[in-house]
């Protein structure tokens, strides 16, 4: 029996950990003092047209919308001056607008004194006096932009440099990661207070609110044309080294497809290598940690590890540097209460809670369950058990979800906040118009759990009108464009020597030109463009020259390619370099932008490997059925024989724990579903083992369940690769 004192101590420490995970402000994006703005954004002179600048000023009711000044020998609108200076100095007009708001607030002021206009950027003003040579908004804009160009062209002259640590005038240590950030500190050598007042902190807030490409808030997952996945966290991009870490809780189609320059606008953070609730062993200290979101929790004793229910074989090695990207959380000893968390349903009231660390957090509506835990089910529990848990606040929606309320307002969740999407243009640009129909309608009670953060808004770059020509020649039709976006890849990443496998890849036609199976193809080569060792005998050309399965592929449609590869006899890494290529009407060959994909393929000699020959696993079942008979045939594709009595077919849930399909009347134990039925003592290389067992489906809550299957040889301490992976996974829908 746990003493009352110990229980309250546990609750206190759990509450302390909970506080560490709560966001501290209403800003969903994070200020990175070392990477405030990208070089591209600071110097993209074509980011806004003259019309777009003027429309933006008018939309803000800015005094600058009607301000004029003498510039280059003529009286011109402020918007015209901003655009001309941007073109002359190769600097972004957006950046000039940011500075005009940051220095004097002129973007959001309907009126201003002449002094504020004359010294709009504060250029050449020191100690309360200003140099009359630079008086006037035109001169201020021109001189300010020229100065930033000088900072870049003559970077060695100035104290703030890329990669060099310096101290700002208000006492902050900064190490600029790029030239644009160094330029900001040279111009304004102040960090700004932690409350977001003054200095470059204030600039960043204006930048983020108006035009910055870093519009995607924390928790959003981005995908580029090569299929790489990046999580936005603390204002940085963190690449998923293994897609499994992402796909365990999310779908690939939920990641937002963006241009490479959008990815590049975020500073790089530590890569995401490990899935949530991974067990990691520090290779330097030998300490073992449980990963819980962004926190690492030290497991202090072997008994505490045993109580968690993890297999010691699941412990992965991690370097101290890899672990440094996680914050330290409260340690886990043998008295810890459910540190990994679970869903619990009150059998009396039907209420559902998430329980962790001695707390219970109610899911006040089924939408929270569906959005936060799409593939998990709740364990039934009595009111007595639930009453013993300390009540926490109702659980909010996880980060990165697009939601709408009953009024039609659309938000994205981030750090426990709801961030309004300002308008339809912003939504379409950031997420694609096609996503609007898929945005989930959420009850007001759930919406109310989330405080409102800063709105996300993009300003449309309206093209300038074209002045009419005196003579109007016949206008030729616009030339077709050829661009692609990677859509999907299905390929085995690990092959045995000599193994033949099929590679399937698809692209979205992102241009205006039509792709046909006689003018586009994909070339499969080494990175250097040479014939790949993976070439199969069926290839008609050394580079494959594979044409799409579709006869014709129009704009925004998908082209699919499929071909065989064969592993060479020698083990090693053989990256397959795939390039979408076009043949024009006169026979010229050119690559299609966005059509490059590299598939990492390894050839390994496995003593212990297997492949599934056939199975009868269902796609969907009813929870009113009792049991489902299953038969699985698995071939020994390794080089060594299996001892039949020691071959176990393991089935677990998505967390590696007891499967909800466990049938106590049929399985050998809670994880071993079956052993081979063959009347032999060994399963020799090249031979097939047959496993028969049942899945119990009655009583499983409706939804999606993941079934994880793998082979264990109980007499050898080595993993068996199944279909070249550690596990075979299948989703089963429960109706």
Per-position DSSP letters for 74-132, written without gaps between them: EEEEHHHHHHHHHHHHT--HHHHHHHHHHHH-TTS-S---HHHHHTTT-TTEETTEE-G
- Judge if 627 and 516 occupy the same domain: no
- pTM assigned to the model: 0.51
Average pLDDT over residues 661-667: 93
**Domain span holding position 677:** 609-734
Average pLDDT over every residue of 588-608: 81
> Which residues are CB-contacts of 344 (< 8 A; sequence separation ≥ 6)?
352, 353, 354, 355, 360, 378, 379, 380, 381, 385, 386
Statement to judge: residues 433 and 563 lie in one domain: no
| Boundary of a domain, candidates 160, 188, 210 | 210
pLDDT at 135 exceeding the cut of 70: yes
Helices (H), 164-301: 179-187, 199-210, 243-247, 260-264
Residue 575 confidence (pLDDT): 86
Our count of domains for the chain comes to 4
Over the stretch 534-545, which tens digit does the pLDDT of each residue have?
999 889 889 999
Quote the Cα angle for 730-641-667, to 5°: 45
Structure tokens at 286: 């030998």
Percentage of the residues of the chain whose pLDDT score is greater than 70: 90
What confidence score (pLDDT) does residue 471 get? 36
Whether residue 406 is found in the same domain as residue 555: no
pLDDT of 9 reads: 39
Q: Do residues 195 and 63 share a domain?
A: yes
Question: Do both 613 and 674 map to the same domain?
Answer: yes
Mean of per-residue pLDDT scores for the chain: 83
Cα separation, 61 vs 5, in Å, equals 62
133, part of any domain = yes
Q: In the prediction, which pLDDT does 209 show?
A: 67
Cα 163 from Cα 248, distance rounded (Å): 37
Distance separating alpha carbons of residues 480 and 520, to the nearest angstrom: 14
Q: What is the CATH number of the domain that holds 536?
A: 2.60.40.10
**pLDDT tens-digit map of 281-300:** 999 999 999 888 778 899 98
Residue with tokens 């990046």: 230
Boundary residue ending a domain (552, 587, 603): 603
Is the same domain home to 195 and 94? yes
Q: Read off the pLDDT of each residue in 87-101 and give the average, rounded to a whole number.
A: 88
Same structural domain, 489 and 447: no
The answer to whether the CB of 359 falls within 8 A of the CB of 317 is no
355 in any annotated domain = no
85: left (phi over 0), alpha (psi -120 to 50) or beta: alpha
Predicted confidence band of residue 450 (pLDDT cuts 50, 70, 90): very high
In this prediction, residue 470 carries a pLDDT of: 36
Backbone phi, psi, residue 390, to 5°: -75, 130
pLDDT in the model for residue 196: 52
**Distance between CA atoms of 89 and 147, rounded to whole angstroms?**
9
Q: Give the Cα separation of 525 and 547 in Å (integer).
A: 15
| Overall average pLDDT of the 332-355 stretch | 88
474 located within any domain:
no
The reply to whether 238 falls in a domain is: no
In the block, residue with structure tokens 């938000």 = 411
> In what helix (H) or strand (E) does residue 386 lie, and over which residues does it extend?
helix 383-387
For every residue of 455-510, DSSP letters joined together read PB-----PPPPPPPPSS-PPPPPPPP---EEEEEEE--SEE-TT-EEEEEEEEEE-
Give the Cα separation of 189 and 285 in Å (integer): 41
Please state, in angstroms and as integers, the Cα–Cα distance from residue 714 to each residue in 612, 660, 673, 711, following that order. Answer: 20, 24, 14, 9
Whether residue 193 is found in the same domain as residue 77 = yes
For residues 55 and 83, which has the higher predicted lDDT (pLDDT)? 83
Residues 626 and 693 reside in one and the same domain: yes
Length of the chain as a residue count: 735
Highest mean pLDDT among 295-309, 482-496, 499-513, 678-692: 678-692
- Backbone φ, ψ for residue 427 (5° rounding): -60, -50
What is the 8-class DSSP label of residue 684?
-
Residues 617, 564: one domain? no
The domain boundary residue, chosen from 452, 474, 494: 452
* Assigned domain for 234 exists: no
Q: What is the mean pLDDT of residues 379-403?
A: 91
Residue pair 299/291 in contact (Cβ under 8 Å)? The answer is no
Please tell me the distance from the alpha carbon of residue 211 to that of residue 97, in angstroms, as a whole number: 9
Nearest-10 Cα torsion for 127, 132, 133, 138:
100
Q: Report if residue 91 sits inside a domain.
A: yes
183/82 Cα distance (integer angstroms): 19
Whether 598 and 613 map to the same domain: the answer is no
* 460 part of a folded domain: no
Q: Are residues 598 and 614 in the same domain?
A: no
Distance CA 589, CA 320 (A): 49
In this prediction, residue 29 carries a pLDDT of 54
* 241 found inside a domain: no
């Amino acid at each position: 029996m746990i003493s009352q004192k110990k229980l309250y101590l546990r609750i206190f420490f759990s509450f302390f950990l909970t506080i560490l995970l709560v966001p501290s402000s209403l800003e969903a994006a994070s200020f990175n003092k070392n990477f405030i703005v990208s070089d591209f954004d600071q110097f993209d002179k074509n980011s806004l047209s003259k019309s777009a600048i003027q429309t933006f000023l008018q939309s803000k009711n800015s005094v600058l919308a009607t301000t004029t000044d003498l510039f280059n020998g003529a009286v011109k609108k402020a918007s015209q001056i901003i655009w001309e200076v941007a073109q002359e100095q190769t600097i972004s007009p957006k950046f000039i607008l940011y500075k005009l708001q940051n220095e004097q607030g002129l973007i959001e002021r309907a009126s201003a004194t002449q002094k504020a206009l004359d010294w709009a950027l504060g250029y050449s003003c020191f100690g309360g006096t200003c140099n009359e040579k630079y008086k006037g908004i035109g001169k201020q804009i021109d001189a300010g932009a020229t100065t930033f160009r000088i900072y870049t062209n003559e970077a060695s002259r100035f104290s703030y440099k890329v990669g060099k640590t310096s101290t700002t005038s208000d006492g902050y240590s900064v190490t600029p990661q790029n030239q644009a950030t160094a330029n900001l500190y040279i111009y304004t050598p102040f960090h700004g207070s932690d409350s977001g007042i003054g200095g470059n902190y204030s600039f960043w807030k204006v930048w983020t609110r108006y035009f910055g490409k870093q519009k995607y808030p924390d928790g959003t997952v981005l995908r580029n044309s090569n299929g790489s996945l990046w999580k936005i966290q603390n204002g940085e991009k963190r690449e998923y080294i293994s897609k499994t870490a992402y796909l365990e809780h999310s779908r690939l189609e939920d990641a937002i497809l963006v241009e490479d320059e959008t990815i590049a606008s975020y500073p790089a953070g530590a890569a995401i290598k490990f899935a949530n609730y991974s067990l990691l062993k520090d290779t330097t200290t030998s300490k073992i940690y449980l990963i819980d979101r962004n926190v690492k929790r030290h497991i202090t004793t072997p008994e505490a590890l045993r109580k968690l229910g993890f297999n010691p074989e699941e412990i992965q090695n991690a370097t101290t540097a890899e672990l440094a990207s996680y914050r330290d959380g409260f340690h886990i000893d043998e008295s810890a209460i459910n540190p990994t968390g679970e869903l619990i349903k009150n059998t009396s009231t039907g209420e559902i809670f998430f329980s962790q660390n001695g707390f219970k957090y109610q899911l006040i509506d089924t939408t929270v369950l569906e959005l936060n835990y799409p593939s998990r089910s709740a364990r039934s529990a009595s009111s007595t058990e639930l009453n013993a848990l300390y009540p926490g606040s109702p659980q909010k929606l996880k980060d990165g979800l697009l939601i709408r309320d009953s009024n039609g307002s659309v938000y994205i969740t981030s750090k426990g906040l709801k961030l309004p999407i300002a308008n339809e243009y912003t939504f379409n640009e950031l997420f694609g118009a096609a996503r609007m129909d898929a945005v989930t309608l959420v009850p007001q009670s759930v919406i109310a759990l989330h405080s409102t953060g800063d709105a996300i808004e993009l300003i449309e770059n309206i093209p300038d009108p074209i002045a009419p020509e005196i003579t109007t020649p016949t206008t030729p039709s616009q030339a077709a464009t050829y661009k692609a976006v990677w859509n999907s890849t299905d390929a085995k990443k690990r092959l045995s020597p000599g193994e033949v496998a099929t590679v399937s890849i698809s692209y979205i036609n992102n241009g205006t030109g039509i792709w046909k199976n006689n003018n586009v193809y994909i070339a499969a080569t080494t990175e250097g463009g040479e014939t790949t060792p993976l070439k199969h005998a069926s290839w008609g050309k050394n580079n494959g020259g594979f044409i799409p399965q579709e006869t014709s592929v129009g704009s925004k449609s998908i082209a699919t390619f499929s071909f065989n590869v064969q592993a060479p006899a020698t083990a090693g890494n053989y990256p397959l370099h795939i390039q979408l290529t076009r043949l024009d009407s006169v026979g010229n060959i050119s690559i299609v932008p966005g059509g490059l994909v590299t598939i990492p393929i390894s050839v390994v000699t496995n003593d212990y490997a297997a492949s599934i020959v056939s199975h009868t696993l269902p796609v969907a079942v009813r929870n009113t059925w009792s049991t489902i008979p299953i038969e699985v045939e698995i071939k020994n594709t390794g080089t060594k024989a299996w001892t039949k009595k020691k071959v176990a077919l393991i089935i677990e849930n998505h967390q590696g724990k007891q499967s909800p399909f466990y049938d106590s009347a049929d399985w050998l134990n809670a994880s071993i579903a079956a052993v081979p039925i063959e009347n032999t003592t060994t399963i020799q290389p090249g031979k097939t083992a047959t496993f028969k067992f049942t899945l119990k489906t009655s009583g499983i809550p409706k939804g999606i369940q993941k079934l994880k299957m793998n082979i264990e040889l109980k007499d050898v301490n080595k993993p068996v690769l199944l279909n070249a992976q550690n596990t075979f996974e299948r989703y089963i829908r429960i109706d």
